[in-house]
Amino acid sequence: MGLTSSGLLVTISVLAGAALVAAVWWWPRLGARSVAAVAGRVGVLLLCQVLTLAALGLGVNGYFGFYESWSDLLGTDTGTAPITIAGSGLQVLAAHAVRGGRIEQVILPGPATGLSEEAYVFLPSAYLREPAKRFPAIIAFTGYPGDPRNLMTRLHLPDRMAQALSRHQVDPTILVMMRPSAVLPRDTECVDVPGGPQVQQYFAQDVRQDMIAHYRVAPGRDSWGILGGSTGGYCALKIVMSHPEAFSAAVSLSGYYKTIIDGTTGDLFAGRGSVEERNDLMWRLAHLPAPAVNVLVTSSKRGEADYAATERFLAAVRPPMRASSLILPSGGHNFNTWNRELPQALPWLAQQLTVD
């Protein structure tokens, strides 16, 4: 069984429970002071602890996606991928059918920035049936460091889009699922770093151009939206507010409103206060003309550290910018909370998009 399979987790959990029951049952028989009895007690305790820790480890790994396979865990995965030269065009690495359409694993090169990143593109069935039609698109970000596969395995975005389509809640929409940092392990916070990687430009310009050139994505701003959680939510808001000529709507799931600087980011501003200000969304609302975009922000009254900041952000929005909120009574900064918000948030975003 695979490392992340639910069958393995269930099997180990059942064995851990059975070992505990067996330990309680056999413990009186191991109460003698002989060497064999002591060894038996030690063995029983070790077995219970190993199985319990294994079950916990599998559960945590499945939730956060640290390791994808046994070879990944053991460090024996020697698989490689070809180097992609920026500007050489989008490359499709793999494709498979899913409910409601097809998913293609791609590399999105950046002719303007020299950056390159992996993405998973969900193409709805209508895209495959109607070869002359253009479609709207949503860029969906993970948090940092993030694995774009979590958008499929933990947040189920393709399934949610397929379900919304089957219910006639939305028009067919392409999903571009990726992480918000194009230069891992560094967390760039989607900043155009002075003298460094131009990450915001990569997502706002290069990714759009790659998708428009390779797929039948409508080029107009009204056909493009962005969604993300945590760091991805901050990036979604910042990009749509900074590039209203390219995007018209965004959803921020538990996002924040000012660049986080820590050991994973390094110096993102090169001492330039103007760069730091432009990446502060509250500063933008107070000092720059309001962009003509529509955003949805989510938080929780209990469990989310960004709730007060979200309220301040909503109060600061002015026309022509529009903002809506989805505030849960309680919920932590995790996949479970975002899965409670996405049944409303994803259709909301798709409904904002049109094709001219």
Q: What is the pLDDT of residue 201?
A: 98
Q: How confident is the model at residue 65 (pLDDT cuts 50, 70, 90)?
A: low
Return the C-alpha torsion angle 327, 333, 338, 339, nearest 10.
-120
* Bond before 111 cis per omega within 30 degrees: no
Q: What is the pLDDT of residue 88?
A: 56
* Average pLDDT over every residue of 5-21: 85
Please report, for residues 108, 151, 197, 227, 304, the alpha-carbon distance to residue 66 in angstroms, rounded to integers and kept in the order given: 24, 14, 26, 23, 23
Is a pLDDT exceeding 70 seen at residue 263?
Answer: yes
Domain 91-352 has CATH 3.40.50.1820: yes
Q: What is the pLDDT of residue 83?
A: 41
Is a pLDDT exceeding 80 seen at residue 87?
Answer: no
What residues pair up with 250 in beta bridges, in sequence order? 226, 295
Domain edges within the chain: 6-74, 91-352
